[in-house]
């Protein structure tokens, strides 16, 4: 049985259907908007590459910092349900602001096709992004924990499956949106002048966020809504502060030692709160090495995409753009999660191996390190294949009567520049007044050419004979398909690390700090992203393959540390511990009523001994 008023379907509370659909729509909204964001900065707001990249990364980092805020509000004040509703509204308003900021006609009073007041568009989009970061980050720890809350005490298996399905929805939503929104952006729209339709590309994610909110509200009658238990974070901070102060005051040897430094808060604070803080601190301590996984994981969007730009994306009927390679990750998630859950994990269990959550996370880290070794091997191949300059243009030019232009082959055919995108055959028109002739040739992905037009060119005659193409840079010969093994390993690592970590963070958190621990988990993602910036800046390794090897080695080192920490971790059942404490507190209350006047200090001592016993009994399982 689940905990809410929800019907139970195949052993699962029906309420979780609304939660996973909400997550699907929300992730569609988030990733869809993110997919076109940098291009919006660059082509609509006219920012340069550096500014666009910095604002983009600042926004992403903010999205993983705000979960702390959302979790505190949820666990201490509003509860998860109300927090999700209010912050989803903020989120939807942010998305609408983005869509409106991308309507160029709003400030185009002279109707020349360009906004008259760029400041308006910049300010509105920054406000929009801030609201989105607040909304998406704020609800993220709450939605996952709220989903977990819907399961009863003996539904561990179902709850694990829920977190897997939850992860599938994240990736299903993001996959769809990263395919759809770039297509919407490429449409032309506008009242006075037709331009790339960023407003539609932001408008559809905005609509999906509204759908996410509506779906969540529809399920409202069925949810189990745990009540927030006061300003828990303030209590936690005060309790920790008191324990530290009290320990310091009693530092002399005459005072007997206590089992845990938090036990020094016993004189003033509730035993249950102390036990709950111990649970949280144990898990947070275990999180310390985890950001390194995200440091590697999040380089898919940066280093690996840059690597793909030096590769050949021609898959026959399909030409893949470098940034499109990133969709391999959600596609693989959608295949690997069911395979792991229904095949690999049960098989491992059948072999008699106890593949505990922390072991899974350790293996996940190792897989991510292997992915980076694969990336290094691919990079070495690229470096070998790009022995670049074949000829130098000045040498060809000297003493000859040529005019010349340079051409670099990158992405799609672009008529107004000398950049041609992954065409096998391109045709150029050479014009002089009303006369013209055509020249066509074959190109390879990533190549660069200098074209020499003979000064003897006669229009009307064959243009083909009057142009000489000189290949400056060879076409990319290493195929993008070679990135698939690295994507496979990083995604398999993600399934073992991230899906497991999500469930682990829920199951090991005390009831009043579920969202807080989810936020702690997401905080490791934010730190991981900062490490990318720091290591890349400090290390300044000239060879890209060596940087990949460095990151892989760092993760292996961190993984060793993590496995040692995990070995000493004892799994707990927070519900059981809390129940024992509550029972004992009730018993003591009864006792006190029957024996008035008992010295308080004696009670504290006795409670403390009993509570240690309860806590120890409930924390028996090891890694
Ligand atoms: C940090 C993650 C827990 C975030 C998670 N991302 C994924 O599941 C990715 N595989 C999605 C892909 C599109 C990058 C999320 O909740 O978005």
- Which residue, by CA, sits nearest to atom 1 of ligand 1? 525
Q: Which residues line ligand 1 (CB under 6 A)?
A: 27, 31, 170-171, 174, 329-330, 333, 494, 498, 525
Closest to 290 measured CA to CA, from 500, 96, 104, 445: 500
Q: How far is ligand 1, taken at its centre, from the CA of residue 113, in Å?
A: 37
- In this prediction the pTM is 0.80
Kindly give the distance from the C-alpha atom of residue 171 to the centroid of ligand 1, in angstroms, as a whole number: 7
What is 1-230's CATH topology?
Answer: Growth Hormone; Chain: A; (1.20.1250)
Closest ligand 1 atom to Cα of 301: 14
Report the atom number in ligand 1 closest to the C-alpha of 300.
Answer: 14
Give the closest residue (by CA) to ligand 1 atom 17. 170
Mutation pick for ligand 1 pocket among 20, 205, 305, 498 (CB with most ligand atoms within 8 Å): 498
419 vs 158, residue with greater confidence = 158
The structure tokens listed for 229 are 């238990």
pLDDT(517) > 80: yes
Q: What is the pLDDT of residues 523-554, one digit of tens each?
A: 999 899 888 877 766 777 889 999 999 999 99
* Mean pLDDT, range 453-473, rounded to an integer: 73
Q: Report CA torsion sign: 255, 256, 262, 263.
A: negative
Asked if pLDDT for residue 411 goes beyond 70, the answer is no
pLDDT average, residue stretch 310-317: 86
Are the CB atoms for 562 and 504 separated by under 8 Å? no
Q: How confident is the model at residue 378 (pLDDT cuts 50, 70, 90)?
A: very high
Q: Return residue ranges of the chain for CATH 1.20.1250.20.
A: 1-230
134: Cβ contacts below 8 Å, ≥ 6 apart = 66, 69, 87, 90, 91, 94
pLDDT at 592 over 70: no
What is the side-by-side strand order in the sheet with 448-454?
419-420, 402-409, 448-454, 467-473
Closest-lying ligand 1 atom to the alpha carbon of residue 327:
13
Q: Are 593 and 541 in contact (CB under 8 A)?
A: no
Q: Structure tokens of 260?
A: 């845990």
Q: Can you tell me the distance from the alpha carbon of 208 to that of 25, in angstroms, rounded to the nearest whole number?
A: 6
Q: How far is CA 354 from CA 164, 347, 348, 549, 569, in A?
A: 19, 11, 8, 31, 15
- Say if CB 311 and CB 291 are below 8 A apart: no
pLDDT at position 480: 93
With beta carbons less than 8 A apart as the criterion, state whether 242 and 273 touch: no
Residue 50: predicted pLDDT: 79
Q: What is the DSSP string of 288-344?
A: TTTHHHHHHHGGGTTHHHHHHHTSB-EETTEE--GGGGGGHHHHHHHHHHHHIIIII
56/528 Cα distance (integer angstroms) = 16
CA of 446 to the centre of ligand 1 (A): 30
Ligand 1, atom 11, lies closest to the CA of 171
Is the pLDDT confidence value at 239 over 70?
A: yes
Per residue in 77-119, pLDDT (tens digit) is: 899 999 999 999 999 999 999 999 999 888 888 777 788 889 9
CA of 527 to the centre of ligand 1 (A): 15
CA–centroid distance, 201 to ligand 1, in Å, is: 20
> pLDDT higher for 209 or 308?
209
pLDDT reading at 240 higher than 60? yes
Task: Write down the pLDDT at residue 401.
Answer: 53
- Candidates 544, 614, 585, 493; CA nearest to 269 is 585
Confidence of residue 415 (pLDDT cuts 50, 70, 90): very low
Q: b vs e for 441-455, b when ≥16 Cβ sit within 10 Å of the residue's Cβ? A: bebbbbbbbbbbbee
Task: Pick the more confident residue, 526 or 562.
Answer: 562
Q: Given the cut 0.95, state whether the ipTM is greater than it.
A: yes
Closest ligand 1 atom to residue 333 Cα is 10
Give the ligand 1 atom nearest the CA of 525. 1
């Amino acid at each position: 049985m689940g905990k809410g008023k929800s019907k139970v379907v195949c052993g699962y509370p029906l309420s979780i259907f609304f939660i996973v659909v909400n997550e699907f729509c929300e992730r569609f909204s988030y990733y869809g908007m993110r997919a076109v964001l940098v291009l919006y900065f660059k082509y609509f707001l006219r920012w340069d590459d550096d500014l666009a990249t910095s604002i983009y990364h600042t926004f992403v980092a903010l999205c993983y910092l705000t979960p702390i805020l959302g979790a505190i509000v949820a666990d201490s004040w509003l509860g998860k349900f109300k927090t999700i509703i209010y912050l989803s509204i903020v989120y939807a308003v942010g998305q609408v602001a983005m869509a409106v900021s991308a309507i160029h006609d709003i400030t185009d009073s002279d109707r020349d096709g360009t906004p008259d007041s760029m400041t308006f568009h910049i300010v509105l989009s920054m406000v929009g992004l801030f609201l989105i970061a607040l909304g998406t980050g704020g609800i993220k720890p709450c939605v996952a924990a709220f989903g977990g809350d819907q399961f009863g005490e003996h539904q561990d298996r179902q709850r694990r499956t829920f977190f897997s399905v939850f992860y599938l929805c994240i990736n299903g939503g993001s996959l769809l949106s990263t395919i759809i929104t770039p297509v919407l952006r490429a449409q032309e729209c506008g009242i006075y002048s037709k331009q790339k339709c960023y407003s539609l590309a932001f408008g559809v994610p905005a609509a999906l966020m509204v759908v996410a909110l509506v779906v969540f509200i529809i399920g409202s009658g069925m949810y189990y809504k745990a009540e927030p238990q006061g300003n828990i974070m303030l209590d936690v901070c005060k309790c920790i502060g008191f324990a530290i102060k009290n320990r310091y005051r009693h530092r002399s040897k005459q005072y007997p030692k206590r089992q845990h430094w938090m036990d020094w808060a016993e004189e003033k604070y509730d035993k249950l709160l102390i036990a709950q803080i111990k649970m949280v601190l144990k898990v947070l301590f275990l999180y310390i090495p985890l950001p390194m996984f995200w440091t590697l994981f999040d380089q898919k969007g940066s280093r690996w995409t840059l690597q793909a730009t030096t590769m050949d994306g021609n898959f026959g009927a399909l030409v893949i753009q470098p940034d499109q390679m990133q969709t391999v990750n959600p596609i693989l998630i959608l295949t690997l999660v069911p395979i792991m859950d229904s095949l690999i994990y049960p098989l491992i269990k059948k072999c008699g191996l106890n593949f505990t959550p922390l072991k899974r996370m350790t293996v996940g880290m190792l897989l991510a390190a292997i992915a980076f070794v694969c990336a290094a091997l691919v990079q070495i191949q690229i470096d070998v294949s790009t022995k670049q300059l074949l000829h130098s243009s000045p040498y060809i030019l000297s003493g000859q009567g040529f005019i010349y232009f340079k051409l670099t082959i990158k992405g799609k055919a672009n008529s107004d520049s000398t950049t041609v995108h992954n065409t096998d055959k391109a045709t150029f028109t050479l014009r002089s007044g009303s006369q013209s002739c055509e020249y066509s040739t074959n190109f390879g992905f990533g190549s660069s050419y200098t074209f020499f037009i003979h000064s003897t060119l006669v229009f009307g005659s064959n243009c083909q004979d009057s142009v000489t193409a000189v290949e400056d840079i060879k076409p990319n010969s290493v195929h993008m398909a070679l990135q698939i093994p690295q994507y496979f390993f990083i995604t398999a690592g993600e399934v073992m690390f991230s899906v497991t970590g999500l469930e682990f963070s829920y199951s090991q958190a005390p009831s009043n700090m579920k969202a807080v621990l989810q936020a702690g988990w997401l905080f490791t993602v934010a730190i991981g992203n900062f490490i990318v910036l720091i290591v890349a800046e400090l290390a300044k390794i000239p060879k890209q393959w060596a940087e990949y090897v460095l990151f892989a080695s760092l993760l292996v080192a961190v993984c060793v540390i993590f496995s040692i920490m995990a070995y000493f971790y004892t799994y707990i059942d927070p519900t059981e511990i809390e129940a024992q404490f509550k029972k004992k507190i009730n018993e003591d209350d009864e006792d006190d009523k029957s024996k008035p006047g008992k010295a308080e200090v004696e009670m504290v001592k006795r409670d403390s001994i009993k509570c240690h016993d309860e806590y120890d009994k409930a924390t028996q399982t090891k890694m």
